[in-house]
Amino acid sequence: MLALSPLLLEHTLEIADQAGNFLVDFYTPSVQHDLTIQTKQDNTPVTSADLFLSQFLIEQLTALTPDVPILSEESCKIPLQDREHWAEYWLIDPLDGTQQFINRTDQFSILITLVQHNKPVLSITHAPILKTTYYAMQGFGAYKKQHNKIEKLNNQAQPQQRRIKIAVGVGGIAQKIQPLLNPNYQYEFLVYGSSGLKSGLVAEGICDCYVRIGKTGEWDTGAAEILLHEMGGSVFDFAFQPLTYNQRESFINPNFVMVANAEFDWQNIFQFNSH
């Protein structure tokens, strides 16, 4: 089992930075990278940048920790019987927000998570175009680095006396969420890209929560789990239960909520059971 240490985190941050430099090259029209776009079986896009970064991250993490298996969104066809006994593994999404990348919104990121005993314990969410990195490690805290300035992320104030700010994805998700909300509160929606970056908005207090309706994979949420846990937040499904990691044949998450303050009475806000 890897020992969680500042050195391990530092090495992983370096790998994320290197991957981010390659991603900038793919994103920059003047740099000669042929960007091909294909559609996967689940009708989501995958680009040559996703595939290149997946291979790069696998190679670099293997070199860093040779005995730790790696599960990437782009190479995840590993049956449960082959992985259910893993004590630890790296969980990566080489390009979280591929559609945002294609649409050139700048709102996409690289997600790297270390999972031990089915719990995320170290993570990095790196958005190279935004020059923003969120990172956390169990017992170490949660941090945001932007333009080389590092800020520790702390527990957020409870949102009782004002509008509750909710991060959502594109595609009319806000209209789907509105009926699930307690009408006695006021709400403000922020539409944003990459699932990982929306969790960052929650972690730094720009939003009180992020609500997701629709398909995501465990690689989309793993990084947020430890980031939010280390600053007093939480992640739960619509039954107010935690998400699971490497415990099912499928990697598809249920609908979920990420919150900045785990102590707030979110069961009073979200009326999931009445729908």
95 is in an annotated binding site: yes
237 is in an annotated binding site: no
73 is in an annotated binding site: yes
96 is in an annotated binding site: yes
How far is residue 229's CA from residue 235's CA, in Å, rounded to a whole number? Answer: 8
Torsion sign, CA atoms 244, 250, 252, 256? negative
88 is in an annotated binding site: no
How far is residue 251's CA from residue 18's CA, in Å, rounded to a whole number? Answer: 27
How far is residue 187's CA from residue 56's CA, in Å, rounded to a whole number? Answer: 41
Long-range Cβ contacts of 56-64 (<8 Å, 24+ apart)? 56/18, 56/19, 56/22, 56/94, 57/15, 57/19, 57/92, 57/94, 57/110, 57/112, 58/92, 60/15, 60/18, 60/19, 61/12, 61/15, 61/90, 61/92, 61/112, 64/11, 64/12, 64/15
Q: Which residues are part of a known binding site for Mg(2+)? A: 73, 93, 95-96, 220
Q: Which residues are part of a known binding site? A: 73, 93, 95-98, 220
Q: Which residues are part of a known binding site for substrate? A: 73, 95-98, 220
